[in-house]
Amino acid sequence: MADLVRFGVSLDKELLEKFDRHIKGKKYPTRSKAIADLMRKEFVKHKWRTGKEIAGAIVFIYNHHKRNVVDKIIDIQHDFGNIVISTQHVHLSHDECLEIIVVKGKPKQVESLADSISSIKGVEHCTVAFTSTNRM
């Protein structure tokens, strides 16, 4: 186990109570673990913007009956062929499709692909999940 350090933090009482309720809901065993995870999340977020390479998934929903939406999604993925690793398509219902694009590349390129997808008329709920690779 890594060396542990104890340190004191002054916080607004209400904020801490809210935080404790929040982490209890997330089933964190200790406050320390929750704070450490928050710090790591912050570092990953920073790498997302400044790192050389990130890996992640762009997840979105669309109605495939909407005019040209499928063609546009495919065209854009071909434009970003250098960072798209794979795509998974799920037929959610009669109208709705869920698509997951797995990507690896420069943060700016991944962000640009996600922006291009989410700006298509007919695409809803486009989210990006990402992590950093070891090549930072």
Positive/negative CA dihedral, 109, 111, 114, 118: negative
**Region 22-61 residues binding Ni ion, contact defined as CB under 5 A:** none
Instruction: Name the strand (E) or helix (H) holding 130.
Output: strand 123-132
Pick the closer one to Ni ion by CB: 65 or 135.
65
If one asks whether residue 97 binds Ni ion (CB under 5 A), the answer comes out as yes
Pick the closer one to Ni ion by CB: 52 or 89.
89
If one asks whether residue 91 binds Ni ion (CB under 5 A), the answer comes out as yes
Q: How far is the CB of 63 from Ni ion (least distance, A)?
A: 10
Which residue number places its CB atom closest to Ni ion?
97
Q: Return phi, psi of residue 80, to 5°.
A: -105, 30
Q: How far is the CB of 97 from Ni ion (least distance, A)?
A: 3
Q: How far is the CB of 52 from Ni ion (least distance, A)?
A: 34
d(CA 30, CA 52): 33
Pick the closer one to Ni ion by CB: 63 or 109.
63
Contact 28, 34 (CB under 8 A): yes
Binding site for Ni ion (CB under 5 A): 91, 97
